Structures are given as structure tokens and as C-alpha cells.
Amino acid sequence: MNAIQERRLRELRSRVLVRAFDYRQRRLARGVWFRLRRVLAFASEAYALPRDEAERLIAEGHQPEPVGQELEPPRVILYVSRERLAGIASARPLAVRLSAEVLSAEFLALVPFEVEAG
Amino acid sequence: MSPLPILLGVTFRDRLVATIRAARPVLESPGVLVVGSEVPNLLEAGAAATLVVSQDLDVGVPVDRHAALKQRLGDLREFEPSADEPSVWTPRSAGLLELNFVGMDPAQDPAEAYVFEDDRLPLLVFGGLSLVSRGAEVEIAGTRLALPRPAGLLLEKLVTDRTGEKGERDLLVALGVLATSAPEDLDELESLYRRLRPELRHAVRSNLTILSLLAPRSGMPDPQPRRAEVTALLRRLETGDPEIV
């Protein structure tokens, strides 16, 4: 084994160890990023909302996603239908990815992907 | 100045085809598979090679076929072993891609890796490739080469830890495989996934969430139009999985 192969093997094994640690900690703070990515992955669209609109949606019965409260500062992340969001002129569309815009949005509305029947 | 994207594609496919022609002695060695980033290109109709622009051709070598392959290395006249990394063979001309030999051992744990020692062609044997099995054969430039079954390759891309620039490119290769997969490939993928231990199933789902949120990259499949497919696969794998967080 030459030095490069040895280094690649060592790096790979290190990553495996880190991943095993991440897995064991997945239900704790270490798993927050996975939970956030998962919530975003199920969204076809994302919008930043003003506080009053987010509060109105919560009053209507929309439940904030728990992962938003695990972040610091906490975020309000709501799944909302496209139809309901169409009535909110101040909703600002964002690309669905781990961007600074998405991560800094204090109130985030996500349109869920439609689930095919069957 | 960078070439226009369409010219980049033509140039790249030409290099890929020329590389396959030049690598014929090893690609037709028994048991050898093309694995890695070129597979989506070769799975496209007519091996159109529009999905992934890459600088190397990954050649998967089952460790029990290494001896037979080694006998053919002398016929590989248009490449030479890299001084730094003996499992990489670099082209003698600019019109070819590198050959990157990787070991495959079906008995290996998917999370592990080891070095198959050899004086001429030592191999890094990646456990994720234990999920890969032989699939279709295609003929390109007079060379018959074997491709992996899409399900196993897709799972290998998703089960392996993916970090940084290379990790993101590897996930976009997985997207390319997904783009060329048939419904029965996804059935097979699900079946293979269910056999993984919980930690590895979690890794697959975690990588799917990363893939879903990646930004587009030049020369790689665009994840944005395929987010719904990625999410549908994630939802499918989650269904009935007792480990869901």
C-alpha cells in the first residue's frame, strides 16, 4: 500500500466513524440538520413569510414543524397548500435548498409535494 | 475561453468513446464492469453521454478476477500507471480519460474498505461496491463492456458517505442513474435497501435529502427538475422503515 492509498483508506475510515457517531446521535442535536433537510426535501416550493401571516396560518390550524424549534434562533416552518399561499401577496418565493435565504427565514412556508395515490 | 456547452458535450463523448476503445483489453476482461460516474452516460440511449462530464472511467475489478485482468495490462498501450497512485492509469494523450481501477468484493461490508495488495495493480476495495452486480452489456466503439445493474449502483452511490465537492458530484451521478432507471430498477433498489442495516438505511435517506437540496452544477444532471422523483424515492424507502426519526 502506498502513501496515497493509505491516506485515502484512513480518510474513508474516519468518515465511517463520524457517520456512525452521527447515526447514534440522530435523535439528539446532531440529527437536526438531517431533520431540517428532510422537511425541506418534502417541499416543492418554499416562501418566506411576514410574522403576521405566519401567525394567521397557525391560528387557522397549521402546525409548526418541530425541527424549526430546534434551531437557534427558532424558526417557524409550516407546510401550507399552494392554494392557501396564493392568497398571501407578501409571501416571498425561495429556491428549495440549503441556502442562506432559507436558513435565515424566521417564518418559512413550504408547499408539500403531492403524494401519488396508490 | 470555455467551449460552448454543446461543444463540451461532443468533445467529452468523443473522449469517452476513444477511452473505451483504448481500454478494450481490460474492459473485456472477464468480470470487469464499468462503475462510477460514466455509467449514466452509457445507460442513455446510444450512450449519448449527455448527463455527466467526468475526467475518468472507473473500472470495477472483482478481486477474484484480478489475476486475469492483470495479464491484460500489458495490452493497455495508451495508458500508463500513475506514479502517485498505482490504481490510476493516466492516458498518454490528451484525448483520453484516466482509468481508475477499483476493487469489488461481494463479501465485503458496505461501510468498509481495504487495499488489495499487488505489485503491479493494487486496488482500493470499496465496500459500497459489494452492492453492485453485473447488468447489461453494451457495445461501444467495437468494445463489449458490462455495466452494473442500475439499482445496485444507485444504492452504492447513496449508501457511501458523501461530503464536500466530490460527494455532491457523486450524488448527482446517483441522480443520473435514477434518471435512466426503469420502475423495476426501483423495485430492486427498494429490495436491496431493506436488507441493509439501520445505520446504512439512514445514510441512504440522508443522502437523498442532500441530493434533493443541491444546486445545479455545470456538466452534471440538474437536480431541480427531478426533486419530485428524489422525494418520491425517499418517501418510498421511509414507508415501513422502523428506524424513521
Does residue B54 share a domain with residue B129?
Answer: yes
Separation of alpha carbons A42 and B228, rounded Å: 8
Per-residue pLDDT, A116: 66
Whether B175 and B124 map to the same domain: the answer is no
| pLDDT given at position B2 | 52
Point out the domain boundary residue: B110, B131, B148: B148
Task: Tell me: pLDDT of A79 over 80.
Answer: yes
The pTM (predicted TM-score) of the whole model is 0.90
Overall number of domains in chain B: 2
Mean pLDDT of A32-44: 96
| A112 in contact with chain B, both atoms CB, cutoff 8 A | no
- DSSP codes, B213-237: TPPP-TTS--SGGGHHHHHHHHHHH
Q: How far apart are CA B73 and CA B167, in angstroms?
A: 30
Mean pLDDT for the stretch of residues B109-135: 93
Task: Verify that B169 and B206 share a domain, yes or no.
Answer: yes
Choose the weakest-confidence range: A51-55, A64-68, B12-16, B192-196.
B12-16
Report pLDDT for A18. Answer: 84
Asked if the model's pLDDT at residue B4 lies above 80, the reply is no
If we measure between CA atoms, which residue out of B102, B117, B112 comes closest to residue B37?
A: B102
Average pLDDT over residues A91-100: 95
pLDDT tens digits, residue range B65-86?
Answer: 999 999 999 999 999 999 888 9
Does B24 lie in the same domain as B4?
Answer: yes
Residues B84 and B199 in one domain: no
In this predicted model, which residue has the larger pLDDT, A42 or B8?
A: A42
Q: Which residue of B has its CA nearest to A27?
A: B245
pLDDT at B8: 53
pLDDT of residue B10: 54
Confirm or reject contact between B171 and chain A (CB < 8 A). Answer: no
ipTM here: 0.92
Cell of A74: 427558532
Give the residue-averaged pLDDT of A8-28.
Answer: 86
B245, pLDDT greater than 60: no
pLDDT at B127: 93
Q: Which residue of A has its CA nearest to B238?
A: A38
In this prediction, residue B192 has a pLDDT band, given cuts at 50, 70 and 90, of very high
Q: Which domain holds residue B223?
A: 149-245
Question: Which of B118, B148, B178 is the C-terminal boundary of a domain?
Answer: B148
Q: What average pLDDT is seen over chain B?
A: 90
Question: If you search the block for the grid coordinates 418520491, which residue do you land on?
Answer: B232
* A42: contact with B, CB 8 A cutoff: yes
Residues of B in Cβ contact (< 8 Å) with A40: 209, 212-213
A2/B contact by beta carbon, under 8 A: yes
Question: pLDDT tens digits, residue range B123-173?
Answer: 999 999 999 999 999 999 899 999 999 999 999 999 987 777 778 888 999
**End-of-domain residue from the set B90, B123, B148:** B148
Do B202 and B142 belong to one domain? Answer: no
> Are residues B116 and B175 both part of a single domain?
no
B98 in the same domain as B156? no
Residues 65-84 of chain A with CB under 8 A from chain B are none
Across the beta sheet with A43-48, the strand order is: A76-79, A107-112, A43-48, A92-94
